[in-house]
Chains A and B, each alone.
Chain A
Amino acid sequence: MGTANVRISPSLEFGAVKKEGMLRQTWKGLKKNKLAMVGLVLIILLIIMAVFADVIAPYGVDDQDLTQKFQPPSMEHIFGTDDFGRDVFSRVIYGSRYSLAIGACAAILSAAVGMIIGSVAGFYGGKADNILMRLIDIMLAIPSTLLGISIVAALGNGIRNVIIAVAIGAVPAYARIVRASILSVKEQEYIEAARSIGASDLRIIMRHILPNCLAPIIVQITMSVAKAILEASALSFIGLGVQPPSAEWGAMLSAARPYFRSYWWVMTFPGLAIMMIIFGLNLFGDGLRDALDPKLKS
């Protein structure tokens, strides 16, 4: 037993070294992928926009000037103005705050819930697995946009409820990924070994199993941030999510709807903003998947 103890610590150290190596390797792979770098730049741009909105935006988010209604794009208002004479560019800049908050919160929430469900189902199997997976089946039977609509309809409008609604729709994907990974590593010998030295279930899941399915989860998080932003904007658009006059991009589109045939810019730019950030997240997510899992690469 004494020798076993001696052996444990170097192996742990080795694990740590390896983990850092994995990070560095992933970064190396990512750096080579030009498209992924474009994606990263777009994401960083969004974060900068959100953090420094006050500095970047030339006008206040709610500054109205009714004499300047529906001005087409010009030097003064590069994205034009809306029905209250508000500067669309400034509103798009401020809108990034909503998207960032909704995307990040929804992704973290759904990842947490999904991982717990997936871990419990995969690790304990049997009845727990059966019940949880049937629940997931039920959630998957409702198209996610529809599920989001129903949840917000029930909970009421507002950014918090939008986050919850969007997050719930993304839970099944995480649960399935984690469950599948756990099932595949559960019977491996090092898990047996960990159990044989008396590690608790929680410890085994946290230290030995989850790190092994980290790659697909990280990729899924990038993708679900994108999906959350898209779905939240759809909810706001049909008037269920964040309400105008908030400068949320979907809400801006919703507010612009009555006039969009005459004043294209009111509708175009918030949509382009959504597109750019989703594009960035997708590029980055694809690159990340290739870098994390060389097997998937062609």
Chain B
Amino acid sequence: MIRYILKRIVALIPVLLGVSFIIFSLLYFTPGNPAEYMLGMDATEENIQALEEELGLNDPFLVRYFNYIKDIVTKFDFGKSYTTKQSVTIEIMDRIPATLTLAVLSVAFATIVGVVAGVIAAVKQYSIFDKLATVIALTGVSMPNFWTGLMLIIIFAVNLKVLPPSGFDTPLHWILPTLTVGMASSATIMRQTRSAMLEVIRQDYITTARAKGQKEIVIVFRHALRNALIPIITVVGISFGTMLGGAILAESIFSIPGIGKLMVDAINVKNYPMVQGGVLFIAFAFSVVNLLVDILYAFVDPRIKSQYKNSRKKKAPAALVGAKRGDSQKEA
């Protein structure tokens, strides 16, 4: 098991290198001279040239990329922000708590609402609740989440005046951002939970449990839900990525000083080191979450666990888990 996890961590390295390379080259070929941006309109030609030299902007592409990676690996240094001249690493670290809070709250909200609603809808298939939940979920995935956020502000902050429209000081401030980021994902999770539960409920072992004289509620949670968890966990993992994306917009709508807001601001002023750092950081966070999801599989399903244990010889589990993720990607 530990061997498997280590292997997966090693496999993360080329992926993150790939991400960094893509982002680095994307921004490298972007028109515009960062030195001019940094110095403003009234900079002299000499000043610009001096700064270009200082930032290493004149080096060939591969040299610049190599130096960038070298600094990250050796000094955990993502470069300097063009605007504030501060270390990108420090600025990102400063912003982590806000983004992390929003992400955790949203995931928790989306998972609880999605799983509970999905289970009820599946158990009471064709009931009013099921139909209502299905339509609400479809509406939920159809709304652009930034727009949902703005509508929530209009309703709850401007008209009803029950919740603050922006900021992050009190727990009340977090309600609207959490809803904004989590709503669409809760709908996705609900749909996945419902279909997974419907599949499981028809299995023979559920009949076995009924034939034992077990209570319906225990059958649903102990026998059925545990078997439906694999696709549910998968979709929660994928939703985490969506929510990170959603958080970028939500942070700027609700003026929450997170990584998303940092990046949007940085893009608007062509502050590339900041954008690179932000993308890399988020890709890293997302990859770690995916790894956690794969590890979680083993705790939920003993069959996958024993495959991980045997993974020394075969690549089977990665393929299996990958296939599963691909499947629900379609769903999502």
Contacts and interface: CB of A to CB of B under 8 A. Distances in A.
Interface stretch (A43-51, A79-87, A270-278): A270-278
Contact of B154 (A144, A154, A260): A260
Interface string A231-245: 001100111100000
B258 to A, nearest CB: 13
B282 A146 contact: yes
A64 interface: no
A127 interface: no
A210 B71 CA distance: 46
B153 A180 contact: no
Contacts of B195: 298
B102 interface: no
A170 to B, nearest CB: 11
B16 interface: yes
B114 interface: no
A239 B268 contact: yes
Interface in B261-299: 263-264, 267-268, 275, 279, 282-283, 286-287, 290
Interface in A239-298: 239-240, 250, 253, 257, 260-261, 264, 267-268, 271, 274-276, 278-279, 282-283, 286, 298
B267 A149 contact: yes
A176 B322 CA distance: 10
A139 to B, nearest CB: 8
* Size class of the A contact interface (CB-based, 8 Å): 35 or more
B8 to A, nearest CB: 12
A40 interface: no
Contacts of A134: 14-15, 18
B125 A253 contact: no
A137 B15 contact: yes
Q: What's the dominant secondary structure at chain A's contact region?
A: helix
Contacts of A138: 15, 18-19, 22
A143 B154 contact: no
Contacts of B146: 234, 237, 253
Interface in A118-170: 134-135, 137-138, 141-146, 149-151, 153-156
B142 A150 contact: no
Given A135-B18, A141-B16, A141-B286, A150 B241 contact: no
Nearest to A279: B142
A145 B245 contact: yes
B143 interface: yes
Interface of A: 134-135, 137-138, 141-146, 149-151, 153-156, 172-173, 176-177, 180, 216, 219-220, 223, 226, 230, 233-234, 237-240, 250, 253, 257, 260-261, 264, 267-268, 271, 274-276, 278-279, 282-283, 286, 298
